[in-house]
């Protein structure tokens, strides 16, 4: 019988309480959603209950309605919380959350739906290069990972600017793995690939990955950031600008959630090499990065 345990407060808090009181695991909830014809990744459910994302759009709302039935809470007790938070969710947020749903599906298609949970990120460094037209040319990524369970592959995701063509985006391994299955989503302009180790990384072992993402789209890029869903020791975002297209306004920022307000903003200037970096030691969960404007 539905309970009143989830009345009042934010959506993520209500969902977290409802899940705890139901006694169901995310795996069980995901399976019951699947039985209803709703494909939702466990990572998405985790993001929702921890407040890293909010459900929006018709597909997500349908999932929330189903969650109310599965968790045994009153009709509307979760859905109405989303409506009460609506002023914080704009068109940009809708695109990001909708993309998250589709990314979960792509991860499942390449056999890596739960592989993010199999390894913890000890450190991550992304070096982005901006071209003469202001668009992103490439990103070099260096990851140091620690296996939490025995694992032989890990996913990689690259999202381009809205309106771009994901078939103009390519990922190449420099060291630490080889490219396996690759899937693209045109609407979200996202590429997801499987990085195969060709050996089993045993629990507790460290592994280093180095790969590059190249983007032949010519849509100007105004930000470079990472979204952290779990603690890590060190995170670096480094951006280099072409001399023919330098920013006139540059700042670093932090957000608690990708659709939320800034919790930290600081003006930045370019170095003599036309580069700027953000480095965080033991960063908090959320989004950290750089954004800029052109003349």
**How far is it, in rounded angstroms, from Cα 93 to Cα 18?**
25
144 plus 282 within the same structural domain: yes
| pLDDT category of residue 4 using cuts at 50, 70 and 90 | very low
Ramachandran region of residue 266, left (φ > 0), alpha (ψ -120 to 50) or beta?
A: beta
Give the dihedral sign, CA 114/119/123/129.
negative
| pLDDT (mean) for 34-46 | 81
Which of 54, 89, 124 is the endpoint of a domain?
89
Do 164 and 266 lie in one domain? The reply is yes
The pLDDT assigned to 96 comes to 43
Predicted local confidence at residue 256, as pLDDT: 74
Do 216 and 287 sit in the same domain of this protein? yes
Domain-embedded: residue 106: no
Residue of 210, 234, 220, 226 whose CA lies nearest to 258 = 226
Verify that 153 and 274 share a domain, yes or no.
Answer: yes
Confidence category of residue 13, pLDDT binned at 50, 70, 90:
confident
3-class secondary-structure state, position 101: helix
Q: Are residues 50 and 162 in the same domain?
A: no
User: For residue 105, what is the enclosing H or E element?
Assistant: helix 91-109
One domain, residues 49 and 173: no
49 part of a folded domain = yes
Most confident of 90-104, 154-168, 246-260: 154-168
- Do 226 and 172 lie in one domain? The reply is yes
Q: How many residues belong to the chain?
A: 295
DSSP code string of 37-75: T----HHHHHHHHHTS----HHHHHHHHHHHHHHHTB-T
Look at residue 35 and tell me if it is in a domain: yes
Residue 3 in tokens? 């309970």
Same domain, 48 and 175: no
Identify whether 174 is part of a domain: yes
Q: How confident is the model at residue 85 (pLDDT cuts 50, 70, 90)?
A: very low
Q: What's the rounded mean pLDDT across residues 134-154?
A: 94
CATH number, position 42: 1.10.260
Q: How many domains does the chain have?
A: 2
The torsion defined by the Cα of 11, 65, 90 and 46, in degrees rounded to 10, comes to 50
Please check whether residue 100 lies inside any domain of the structure: no
Rg of the Cα atoms in the chain: 20
Same domain, 281 and 199: yes
Statement to judge: residues 163 and 18 lie in one domain: no
Domain that includes residue 259, residue range: 115-293
* CATH code of the domain containing 264: 2.60.40
Examine residue 105 and state whether it is found in any structural domain, yes or no: no
pLDDT of residue 145: 95
Instruction: Report the alpha-carbon distance of residue 277 to residue 270 in Å, rounded.
Output: 9
Q: Are residues 148 and 23 part of one domain? A: no
pLDDT digits (tens, 9 = 90+) for 94-112: 344 445 667 778 888 998 8
Distance from C-alpha of 74 to C-alpha of 209, rounded to nearest angstrom: 46
Residue 153 counted as domain residue: yes
**Strand ranges in 24-161 using DSSP code E only, listed in sequence order:** 119-130, 136-147, 151-159
Any domain includes 18: yes
């Amino acid at each position: 019988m539905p309970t009143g345990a989830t009345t009042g407060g934010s959506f993520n808090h209500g969902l977290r309480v409802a899940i705890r009181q139901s006694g169901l695991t995310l795996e069980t909830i995901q399976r019951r959603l699947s039985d209803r014809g709703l494909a939702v990744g466990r990572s998405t459910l985790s993001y929702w209950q921890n407040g890293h994302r909010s459900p929006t759009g018709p597909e997500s709302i349908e999932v929330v309605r189903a969650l109310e039935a599965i968790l045994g809470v009153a009709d509307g007790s979760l859905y109405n919380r989303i409506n009460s938070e609506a002023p914080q969710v704009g068109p940009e947020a809708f695109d990001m959350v909708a993309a998250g749903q589709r990314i979960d599906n792509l991860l499942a298609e390449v056999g890596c739906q739960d592989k993010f949970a199999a390894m913890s990120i000890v450190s991550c460094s992304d070096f982005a290069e901006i071209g003469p037209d202001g668009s992103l040319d490439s990103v070099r990524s260096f990851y140091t990972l620690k296996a939490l369970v025995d694992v032989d592959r890990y996913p990689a995701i690259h999202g381009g600017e809205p309106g771009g063509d994901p078939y103009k985006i390519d990922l190449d391994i420099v060291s630490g793995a080889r490219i396996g299955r690759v899937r693209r989503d045109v609407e979200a302009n996202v590429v997801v690939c499987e990085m195969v180790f060709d050996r089993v990384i045993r629990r507790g072992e460290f592994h280093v990955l180095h790969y590059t993402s190249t983007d032949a789209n010519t849509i100007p890029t105004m930000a470079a950031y990472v979204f952290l869903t779990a603690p890590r020791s060190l995170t670096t975002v480094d951006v280099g600008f072409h001399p023919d297209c330098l920013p006139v306004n540059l700042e670093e920022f932090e957000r608690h959630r990708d659709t939320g307000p800034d919790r930290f903003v600081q003006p930045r200037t370019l170095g003599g090499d036309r580069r700027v970096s953000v480095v965080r030691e033991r960063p908090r969960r959320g989004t950290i990065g750089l954004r800029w404007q052109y003349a």
